[in-house]
Amino acid sequence: MRGAESPAMSSLWLDVRYALRMLAKAPGLTAVLLITLALGIGASTTIFSVVNSVVLRPLPYDHPEQLVRAYTEMKGKVLHEANGVTVPGFRDLSRSCRTCARLGAWYSGSTSLSNGERAVRVQATYPTHDLLPLLGVRPILGRWFDEAEDQPGAPRAIVIGYELWQRVFAGDRAIVGKQVRLNAAPVTVVGVMPPGFSFPEHEEVWIPAGLDFAAKDNEASFASR
């Protein structure tokens, strides 16, 4: 036997039944209301996902609260995110910044990578050797390239992403030390990054920047810790 319902519950059920009867009498209006509700929920979910990934969830790096990304300020010009730091500017910052434990720079582009059988177009980043230690992320196979490999004219080395390693090289654990072709030129694979790592955006390979500090027109993005 059911217990006596409270007046508040009874009133609520009456309101629900009345609302359902009204919706059943106007199916067109009901459909519009349901679509509007679905769109509102979808938009709210999307906005929360973006806010969660960008603002609430910490970056997947070591001590993300200590990371700083810098841009060039141009007086009298409209600033936008693409404004990077020139190579001489990065050199001067690395010499003069006394509060930075490490500094790293990078520039990005696309390139062609071949495993000897077929070539694929991949998104590449050309970072300085200090960038990965700055982020505190380690390859799951092999290593990151060192300072000697990050010099103009040095033998080419490459670090590949986990997803690319699986897709193009079938997860071959003997990939480290092998040569592949980058824009038809031979490069040596020195490491494989962990799953999900794609710094700065959707990169699949990382190649030493080999910045020429004597150049005046080169531009790169800049980060420090």
- Residue range 64-98, pLDDT digits in tens: 767 777 777 666 655 454 567 777 778 887 788 78
Residue 188: pLDDT above 70? yes
Residue 50: pLDDT above 50? yes
Q: What is the pLDDT of residue 220?
A: 60
Under DSSP, the state recorded for 57 is S
Q: Count CA atoms within 13 Å of residue 14 on its CB side.
A: 7
Q: What is the pLDDT of residue 95?
A: 82
Q: What is the pLDDT of residue 139?
A: 94
The answer to whether the peptide bond before residue 88 is cis (omega within 30 degrees of 0) is no
Q: What is the pLDDT of residue 56?
A: 47
Query: Could you give the angle at which helices 27-51 and 7-25 cross, rounded to 10 degrees?
Result: 110
Q: What is the pLDDT of residue 1?
A: 43
Please state the length of the chain: 225
Return d(Cα 206, Cα 124) in angstroms, integer: 6
* pTM of the shown model: 0.66
pLDDT in tens, 191-224: 999 998 888 888 899 999 888 766 555 556 555 5
Tell me if 90 sits within 8 A of 70, measured CB to CB: no
Under DSSP, the state recorded for 99 is S
Q: Count CB-CB contacts under 10 A for residue 47.
A: 10
Three-state DSSP at 93 gives helix
Return d(Cα 25, Cα 165) in angstroms, integer: 59
pLDDT in tens, 131-186: 888 888 899 999 999 999 999 888 889 999 999 999 999 999 999 999 999 888 89
What's the chain's Rg over C-alpha atoms? 27
Q: What is the pLDDT of residue 42?
A: 74
Comparing 213 with 59, the larger pLDDT belongs to: 213
Residue 143, token pair as written in the block: 């290593």
Mean local confidence (pLDDT), 50-56:
51
Residue 26: pLDDT above 80? no
